[in-house]
Each structure stands twice: as C-alpha cells, then as structure tokens.
C-alpha cells in the first residue's frame, strides 16, 4: 500500500489523500472536490488588499492568519521569515495572508490596527485572536492550533 498524506484544500476546505510518491515526483495534486491546486510545502503567504480581503480572508473555509505589516517596520521584517515558515508548515490547515497597512488603510482601520506587526486570526469571517508584536514561531503556532480542525502536521 502506498504511503499517503492528507492535505486540506485552501479553497474549499476538503481533505484530500495524496500519495507521497507523487509529491516526490514533483506532481502538483488538485483537490478532488473543487479541482484547485492543493497547497504544497512551498506555499507562500497570500497578499491581500482592501479589495480582496472579504473574498480571500472573511469567506475562507480555513482559519486565516493575517500579518498586518509595513515595509518600513523593522519588527515586521524580523517576523516575515516566521510568517513564511508558518504558511508552509500549516498549508491546507491555515491560510496565511499579508496585509500592507500603508497601502490598505481601510482594512487596517476597520480592524483598529494601531501598532505593527499585528497578527489577526480570523475563523468563519470573524476575528478570534490577535497577537501584537514579534513573537516566537512556537508561540504563534500554539495560538493557531486552537482553531485548526483535524490532525496537524
């Protein structure tokens, strides 16, 4: 019997069984339900804007970690590699997004983001947690795991 892994679709939330051998061959699996590409280990954070926030974050079937940041912010740049690692590690379980507060002031204002970096956790379109400032990866992941359904990797 082949060695399989399960991957949750970031688009529709369906759990898909994928053969590890096919992943090792470089094949890109697609969701059995919605036919969208499944996230792999190279998943990167999704860039969201005022215009795309509702569709990409609020209507996501998965919990979403939103990194509110700015290019000029030193702590934001320090946290960026951690956010990218979490996006790869939790692909299919948590959608990770980045929101530049300088170019998207409406969303930043709506969520009352007063200092950066601020990490928002949204589930079902509602804010369920907020982390302000630079935190270690294990602390952020521990907070996220409360909102992840099913087995974690």
The residues that are catalytic are 73, 76
Closest CA relative to residue 54, chosen from 14, 104, 116, 113? 104
Collapsing DSSP states into helix, strand and coil, what is residue 18? strand
* Bond from prior residue into 117 cis (ω within 30 degrees of 0): yes
- Closest Cα to residue 46, out of 107, 100, 5? 100
Asked if 27 and 12 touch (Cβ cutoff 8 Å), the reply is: no
């Amino acid at each position: 019997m082949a060695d399989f892994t399960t991957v949750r679709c970031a688009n529709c939330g369906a759990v898909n069984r994928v053969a590890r051998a096919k992943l090792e061959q470089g094949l890109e699996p697609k969701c059995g339900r919605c036919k969208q590409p499944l996230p792999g280990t190279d998943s990167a954070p999704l860039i969201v804007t005022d215009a795309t926030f509702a569709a990409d974050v609020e209507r996501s079937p998965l919990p979403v970690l939103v990194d509110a940041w700015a290019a000029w912010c030193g702590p934001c740049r320090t946290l960026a590699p951690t956010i990218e690692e979490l996006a790869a590690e939790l692909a299919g379980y948590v959608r990770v997004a980045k929101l530049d507060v300088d170019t998207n002031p409406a969303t930043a204002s709506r969520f009352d983001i007063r200092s950066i970096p601020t990490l928002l956790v949204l589930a079902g379109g509602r804010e369920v947690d907020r982390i302000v400032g630079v935190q270690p990866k294990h602390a952020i992941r521990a907070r996220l795991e409360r909102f992840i359904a099913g087995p974690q990797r």
